[in-house]
Structure 1
Amino acid sequence: MDRATFDVCRRQKPASWHPGGMPEFSVWRSIGACLLIVLVTQQLVFADEMDAIQSLLAKYCLRCHGAEKQNAQVRFDRIARFENSDQRLWAMVHDSLVRGEMPPKDEPQPAPDEKQRILKWIIDEATGPIRLGRRASRVLPRVDAGQLRPINLRCPT
């Protein structure tokens, strides 16, 4: 191989290489892997926190708000997570805990750190990003042309 051919071959870089010397696909693969790790970790933390809250509710609330007995028509044994439709219930739970009304004085009381954990969880869930409920995962019904209403739009003249 002569010197000119060698120089041309040496200067050419594969099309998949980034100017910084790292392959482009590796950069995107690394970014994707990092995002996946963050999302999985976030879901695991959320699941752990929800399990802890459910165990606290079972310990202090299910005696009066469980399957056998439902005071004030509140039932905590069916709650799997914070639903947007239950915000009024969680606001009531938060207020009752803050005022010391719940659990009643003759029932076992949560430790101050347990109480703060429940209150923090309620606030974090109520002010956090909106999670789609169970209905959002269903397929939307098909709308036929006969079910649509006409809209009269008039251009300003």
Structure 2
Amino acid sequence: MIALKVKQQKVFMAKLLTTEAFDDFLVTEATIDTYNTFHIDGKINKEFYHDGELPATDYSKWSTIRPIALELIKGKITPLGFKFVLQLDSKRKEELLKNSDADLNPDQVSLGINIRFANGEVIITTGISYSLFTLDKSAEKAWDEYIPSLLDSYDIPNDIL
């Protein structure tokens, strides 16, 4: 697990809220504090959909939640805070695990990031959870390298804390 401080918040927020940069991530949770506190549970209510429309995942993609988050955050007044908990989608998780030489099935691991705005700072924290016990840390190392490189690829300056 690593924590990254975003150096240019406006650049990061523009990429997060107005581009497809993070669209393939899955949203497990979102909380936005403005004039009210808005909490979004990213878990999909499958009962809402008809049989032929069922989403392939249990959680909404960021691309679905992003316009809602943008609407709640945009404006002249800076939000009091927000927290987005995102997970890497299955396809990219499988690629990352394959490239890391981790001896894990993609179903055995969740790769996530917490994006938090508080006290005037945006901090991104990586996290990994396993459904089994393993001493192999290659997936964790690959994930901790992936997020800074992803930010760099979108020209989002950051510092490891």
**Shared fold by TM > 0.5?**
no
Whichever structure has more strand as a proportion of its residues is: 2
TM-score with structure 2 setting the length: 0.22
TM-score with structure 1 setting the length: 0.22
Q: Which has the larger radius of gyration?
A: 1
Whichever structure has more helix as a proportion of its residues is: 1
Higher relative contact order (Cα pairs below 8 Å, separated by 6+ residues): 2
